[in-house]
Structure 1
């Protein structure tokens, strides 16, 4: 039908334009990373005549991107592990355990979602400095946990509330303790939600700049995004090397989006429907 076809085109054209606007910066960055400085100065928009992989090697080794990559990987892995452990335990308790004040605690977690980090960054930095956690891996990991735990608790609570209460009651009748129910029942049933939330938390932590900039002032402790930001001044006259650093930082995130799209979508929509 003409009306249906027109409606499809009306939706497809803006979405195609949005996709092109999203993909083009990455393609442009990859093209610049393959050029020499001379080629970039002469024509920054033309395709690279002969791709130069040396720029990636220079950014990886010479600019210290390898060290920044390891720093980010260690911090993000530890932070996500703590977030999933604490978030799943809190979500189970708030969703299935009956105790006084559970609703207030859940509302407090919801309130934490609406507090921008800029509001708490000064007191957080002072607390971290007083406890000697500034410029340390544990300090940055704890800062990430404090920032993203309300989000994790909210999504895990929403997921666990969709699990029938009869399953928990049957497990308790079979003699399981609260910890046994959590470990044997709730963790396996919550695995899809844990995967989705873990991916989102990993993306949040990996892409963070502000918290890492406050917690890690030393160059040797920089995370990948801070290292890329530092390349702007260090390689201001060598744009291809700077673009190579941006490309190195973008590749892990791009891979996650390409291969785990469904899990990311499930995490974003978790708790939006009642099962």
Structure 2
């Protein structure tokens, strides 16, 4: 009995320390965002005596976080839509359809997962500039789709491989075309995987700074995360305003993690046991 209790404490203490280390930065950011500039200069670590939303409203309206937020919603929403559309189509083809070169194509998608964006950053920027897509929403959306599509294809292929081939054969016997099988069979059966992959792709695109910084150089088209990083230089002497911008950017991600934990875990582990 004593050994079991000791084992529980050995596991509980590091996990509690990790939880505190994870929660404290968010608590500290909220605390700083609620302070006035004078209160922060006098004592940055003291708890606030009263909750004030002036810094948050100022960052939202005056600094331009509202525009950055809208840019991110548009870009991320369309990027995830195309990622799920193309990823589910490719996953269906690579897992259920037999054609020459399918295995090589899947291996190519796997290989693309290991190519960091820094390797293709300069050629991509030159191609986008030559085609007039720099500092445009379609250009950033295209860059996101190209960067995260291999990951989406890999997870959707892994999921669709768990679906018995007999279901596809039965649908073809009933008169469905390849597109009909995809629309009537694969999309409904792939909803759990689409939800998980969609959440992960949303987090990837939302948290991105480098791709957006390369593709969107103008302040008007900045996404939220790039806007937050720019605040650090513009408001280096006004940390409460900067903390308010960080808080605005973190709230959507925090809500996703809080309410969609199971789907995120399912997406991370997809294909780890089968496929």
Q: Which TM bucket (shorter chain)?
A: over 0.9
- Per the TM alignment, residue 3 of structure 1 is displaced from its structure 2 partner at its CA by 1.9
User: In structure 1, what is the equivalent of residue 152 of structure 2?
Assistant: 152
User: In structure 1, what is the equivalent of residue 139 of structure 2?
Assistant: 139
User: In structure 1, what is the equivalent of residue 66 of structure 2?
Assistant: 66
Query: In 1, distance between residues paired with 2:23 and 2:67?
Result: 28
Query: Is 2:245 aligned against 1:266?
Result: no
Query: In 1, distance between residues paired with 2:240 and 2:51?
Result: 11
SS at 1:85's partner residue?
helix
CA-to-aligned-CA distance 1:83-124 (integer Å, 9 cap, x gap): 000000000000000000000000000001111111110111
Cα RMSD over matched residues? 0.8
User: In structure 2, what is the equivalent of residue 115 of structure 1?
Assistant: 115
Query: Is 2:51 aligned against 1:57?
Result: no
User: In structure 2, what is the equivalent of residue 129 of structure 1?
Assistant: 129
Contiguous gaps of at least 5 residues in structure 2: none
SS at 2:220's partner residue?
helix
SS at 2:268's partner residue?
helix
SS at 1:148's partner residue?
helix
User: In structure 2, what is the equivalent of residue 38 of structure 1?
Assistant: 38
User: In structure 2, what is the equivalent of residue 190 of structure 1?
Assistant: 190
User: In structure 1, what is the equivalent of residue 218 of structure 2?
Assistant: 218
Q: Give the TM-score, by structure 1 length.
A: 0.99
- Per the TM alignment, residue 274 of structure 1 is displaced from its structure 2 partner at its CA by 2.0
User: In structure 2, what is the equivalent of residue 83 of structure 1?
Assistant: 83
Query: In 2, distance between residues paired with 1:166 and 1:263?
Result: 27
Query: In 2, distance between residues paired with 1:262 and 1:77?
Result: 21
Query: In 1, distance between residues paired with 2:145 and 2:36?
Result: 42
Query: In 2, distance between residues paired with 1:148 and 1:2?
Result: 49
Contiguous gaps of at least 5 residues in structure 1: none
SS at 2:50's partner residue?
coil
Segments of 4+ in structure 1 off by > 4 A?
A: none
Query: In 2, distance between residues paired with 1:2 and 1:91?
Result: 51
How many corresponding residue pairs?
275
